[in-house]
Amino acid sequence: MLVVMKSGAAPEQVERVCQEIRTLGFTPHAMPGAGRTAIGITGNKGPVNALPFEALAGVEQCIPVTKGYKLVLREMKPEGTRVQVNGCEMGGGTNFTLIAGPCSVESTQQMETVAKFLKDQGVKILRGGAFKPRTSPYSFQGLEEEGLDILKDVGARFGLGTITEVMDTGAVEAVEAHAGILQIGARNMQNFSLLKRVGKAAKPVFLKRGMSATLEEFLLAAEYVLHGGNHNVILCERGVRTFADHARNTLDLSIIPSVQKLSHLPIFADPSHAIGKREFVEPMAKAALAAGADGLMVEVTPDPDHALSDGAQTLNFKDFERLLKSLRPLAQALGRKIN
Ligand code: PEP
Ligand code: MN
């Protein structure tokens, strides 16, 4: 059940509701929003009786929840979650945020070149994998700790926010100390111990959809993170496995409005990993913007043909500039602000 407080309810009234929840042996999760606070109840095995709550001062209504996810529900925060990283606001309807950078951090020089370019383009968040989840053990596995140091250093020097993947619980502390956003990759979307661990992290989480995950499984994975206490979660559609063999994956744009109807969490699209071919990144990116995505994650590096991972889907600087140029009029027509 969710307890929705009246707008302007006093903090003591919110606390009184939380106390009542604790008295029943359950856990309250208060989520203050722009208009009002909603309080999710977890730990209950069956339905919770709404009557005692409806009688409390400041309570507007109680909403029963039948699904396994509660805290991600739009009713918890109807205006949508906004995640702030390094002065860049993601989510909330108007912002359309670009996260860009190479698949893998390969060297300081590569990251400096990318950072300078992206800064000039107005991009605020730099990506780069240090720990790479590779299908083959013989493929480049990432620079690991050295990659984290490079990303942190370059991000700081160029005033960019940063994001990198964390593959296991043991690496969370180090990644948290080096990056602004923790990425959970598609292959780890249901790594529940990792989800629990990043639920305790102080940094926002960028959760990529598993390659065969349903909407429900995706939202339940996010629920793990919110349940741990970390409410700063961004979802990302990165393509799913289908029978189609003309592309690496199939970008499932239909999940964007579906997530937005059910959940307050921002939803990004990653056209690079979805399509797998750089020439099709631009049309897929435009389609994601048109479908209402909150932003994009795009792979870009100076020399994609010699990239150590995902070169075929990675844009060069010229392609990226063209992409931005084609997104701008579309964003403007849709009332979206590229940041
Ligand atoms: C990545 O972003 O580099 C990545 C490995 O993505 P995914 O988990 O979506 O495959
Ligand atoms: Mn990649």
Shortest-distance Cα residue to atom 8 of ligand 1: 185
Which are the contacts of 183, defined by CB distance < 8 A and separation ≥ 6?
A: 127, 163, 164, 165, 166, 205, 206, 208
pTM of the complete model: 0.97
Query: Residue 210 CB: number of other CB atoms within 10 A?
Result: 21
Mean pLDDT along residues 87-109:
97
- Delineate the domains of the chain, giving CATH numbers in brackets: 2-66 (3.30.70.1140), 83-338 (3.20.20.70)
Closest atom of ligand 1 to 238 CA is: 9
Pocket of ligand 1 (CB under 6 A): 103, 129, 133, 185-187, 208, 238, 270, 273
Mean pLDDT along residues 13-35:
96
Give the Cα separation of 9 and 7 in Å (integer): 6
Helix%, strand%, coil% for the chain, nearest 5: 40, 20, 40
pLDDT given at position 66? 87
Give the Cα separation of 291 and 336 in Å (integer): 12
Give the Cα separation of 40 and 48 in Å (integer): 11
Beta strands in 174-255 (DSSP E): 181-184, 205-208, 233-237
List, as ranges, residues with CB under 5 A of the ion ligand 2: 103, 310
Instruction: Output the CA 71–ligand 1 centroid distance in Å.
Output: 26
pLDDT tens figures, 138-165: 999 999 999 999 999 999 999 999 999 9
Closest atom of ligand 1 to 209 CA is: 9
pLDDT tens figures, 245-254: 999 999 999 9
Mean pLDDT along residues 21-41:
95
Query: Residue 63 CB: number of other CB atoms within 10 A?
Result: 16
Shortest-distance Cα residue to atom 10 of ligand 1: 186
3-state secondary structure of 194: helix
Closest atom of ligand 1 to 103 CA is: 3
pLDDT tens figures, 115-130: 999 999 999 999 999 9
